[in-house]
Amino acid sequence: MTLVCYRCGREAAAGARCECGEPLWLTADAADFSWSDSHERGVWRYADLLPVEPPPGVGSVAGGTPLLRTPRLDEYADCTLWVKDEGRNPTGSFKDRGSAVGVARALEAGDDWVGTVSHGNMAMSVAATAAGARTNCLVLVPDDIPSERLAHIAQYDPEIVRVEGDYGRLYDESLELRGVRFVNSDTPYRVAGQKTTALEIYEAFADANDSRSSPFGGSVGGDAPSTPDAIVAPVSSGGHASAIWKALRELREAGALAALPRLYFVQAAACDPIARAYRSNADEVTPVDGDETVAYSIANADPPSGNRALAAARETNGGVLSVSDEEILDAKRHFARRAGLSVEPASATTLAGIRRLSERDKITSDDHVVAVATGTGFREQTATAATPQETRMAELSKLVRSLVSGSSG
């Protein structure tokens, strides 16, 4: 496979960025690709479109997450809604897909160390994948990282270094460090692994009316079209957005697409540089002074693949939008109460965004839309405390009768 710049087409022998400044990605020969009859699940089901072999440990079982039909959310979203539940990955986020391929590349190249710049899901993912592969791992975090996040990362026993100074500069600084292969948010091998999110979505829809057994737990039924009308995902660095776009381009090259979906990417309004560029019809994304948001894992004020995410939305006739913290938390509650899904706030931006797009008639009630729920909510330390009812044992039966008779379903 060859490293190529999506924008200028220049090829490179190595590295993460083109001479023009844009990120590189790996080409794949998709001309002869077809959906596998293999019973393999997950990232490695698509080995023909990947540059490496599976690593040992949790990286070998990344991916293979369910695509769920969530009819109780249809009214709220005003469309036919499906949810790609990436919280089922080994460490609870889509990051495991890219970590699996990135760590596999380090093993193949004989690297002794892998690393990442992260204080959240990606740090946990790289550390866990490296632990399973018996590879040394370096995680660079900001000096003000909360203790609970540090504990989540530290359980996998990586070498953690707090770095004082501008955290936004760490991405570029890390790529200049010698002796460590950094698998950052939009590096080529991470993007190669993360494109399998979209490959799984498309295979699940392609299987909808197919008699052969689906590798996705039978979650897609015969009422589904062969392709979704739109895919909606959170966007931070732009790496995952780029990966989804890359998968669609490869499927189109392989002749496996009946129709190209619209790609919509959602940010928190408190930190939304890509959405601002889209709204202003700008050609490039510029950094912003972001504020705090409940969707902290996507609060990236200077996204390294922002321009590529912008291009993905525009080429597919989709868009980039932002939603408020209030909308995010409301969508998070609906995910849990109407679909039984605990998602992190960043994932809830998708449902909030779909609701907003429906209000603007960008999505219609007849559309089949996939919301990519990128990470689990079970790690959160800030869940709202419940206030249970209380009763004596002798009054329990009476209380239950009142609850059951007053239930609206």
Q: Which pLDDT value is given to residue 10? A: 96
Whole-number Å distance between alpha carbons of 309 and 312 = 5
Query: Which segment, 177-186, 216-225, 347-356, 371-380, is predicted with the most confidence on average?
Result: 347-356
Question: 217: pLDDT confidence band, cut at 50, 70 and 90?
Answer: very low
Assess contact for 128 and 155: CB atoms under 8 A: no
Closest by Cα among 92, 74, 67 to 380: 92
- The answer on pLDDT for 87 being more than 70 is yes
When comparing pLDDT for 29 and 72, which is higher? Answer: 72
The pLDDT assigned to 407 comes to: 55
Residue 259 vs residue 81, higher pLDDT: 81
Q: Quick check: 58 pLDDT over 50?
A: yes
Confidence label for 391 from pLDDT (cuts 50, 70 and 90) = low
Q: What integer pLDDT is reported at residue 12 of this predicted model?
A: 95
Residue 1: predicted pLDDT:
83
Question: For residue 385, what pLDDT is reported?
Answer: 53
- What's the pLDDT at 118? 92
- At 262 the pLDDT is 98
Does the fold of domain 95-190 match that of domain 3-90+191-373? yes
Has residue 383 got a pLDDT over 70? no
pLDDT at 224: 66
| The Cα angle at residue 378 between residues 375 and 381, in degrees rounded to 5 | 110
Q: Which residues of 289-323 are buried (b: 16+ CB within 10 A; e: fewer)?
A: ebeebbbbbbbbebbbbbbbbbbbbeebebbbbbb
Check whether 342 has a pLDDT greater than 90.
Answer: yes
| Closest alpha carbon to 323 in 263, 265, 268 | 268
**Helices 95-109, 121-132: inter-axial angle, 10-degree rounding:** 40
Query: What's phi and psi for 3, nearest 5 deg?
Result: -80, 130
The DSSP bridge pattern shows strands 136-142 and 113-117 to be parallel
Per-residue CA distances from 107 to 54, 186, 273 (Å): 10, 19, 35
With vertex at residue 233, the alpha carbon angle to CA 160 and CA 64, rounded to the nearest 5 degrees, is: 75
Band of pLDDT at residue 168, cut at 50, 70 and 90: confident
Protein fold of 95-190: Rossmann fold (3.40.50)
Q: Report residue 377 as tokens.
A: 């909510």
What's the pLDDT band for 216 if we cut at 50, 70, 90?
A: very low
Residue ranges per domain, the chain? Answer: 3-90+191-373, 95-190
State the pLDDT at residue 259: 78
Q: Tell me what pLDDT residue 147 has.
A: 85
CB within 8 Å of 294: residues ≥ 6 apart:
268, 325, 328, 329, 345
For domain 3-90+191-373, say whether CATH 3.40.50.1100 is its number: yes
Span 242-250, average pLDDT: 97
Q: What is the CA radius of gyration of the chain?
A: 21
pLDDT band of 403, cuts 50, 70, 90 = low
Residue given tokens 């062969």 in the structure block: 226
Whose CA is closest to 28, among 207, 241, 193, 216? 193
| H/E stretch holding 173 | helix 170-175
Average pLDDT, rounded, for the chain: 90
Please, what's the b/e burial string for 89-119 (b: 16 or more CB within 10 A of its CB; e: otherwise)?
bbbbbbbbbbbbbbbbbbbeeebebbbbbbb
